[in-house]
Amino acid sequence: MKIYVLAAFLIGILVGSVIGYYYFLPTNNEQRLGSKELAYLYLESSYNSTLGLCYEHPGSNTYYLSHDNALASYALQIWNREIADNISKTVEDLAALYGLETHSSGLLRDGRIDILLGYSYDDLKNIGTSFEKDYLGSILKTEMVLDTNAQVIQGYADLLCYSSLIEWRKNNSFGAQIYYNACKGMWKGNGFEDLVFNSTGRYETYKLGLFYFLNKVIEADAFEFEEELIKRAWQCQNKTSGGFRTHYYANGTFPQDSLTNTETTSIMLLANIPSTIKCGA
> What is the pLDDT tens value at each position of the chain, 281 positions in all?
545 545 555 555 555 544 444 434 555 678 899 999 999 999 999 999 999 999 999 999 999 999 999 999 999 999 999 999 999 999 999 999 999 999 999 999 988 999 999 999 988 876 666 799 999 999 999 987 776 788 889 999 999 999 999 999 999 999 999 999 999 999 999 999 999 999 999 999 999 999 999 999 999 888 999 999 999 999 999 999 999 999 999 999 999 999 999 999 999 999 999 998 887 65
pLDDT for res 130 = 78
Rg of the Cα atoms in the chain: 18
Q: Give the integer Cα–Cα distance in Å for 80 and 46.
A: 13
The Cα-based distances of 144 to 53, 119, 139, 189 in angstroms read: 19, 18, 15, 31
Contact 65, 91 (CB under 8 A): yes
Give the pLDDT confidence score for residue 2 in this predicted structure.
47
Q: What is the predicted pLDDT for the residue at 128?
A: 63
> Is the pTM value of this prediction over 0.95?
no
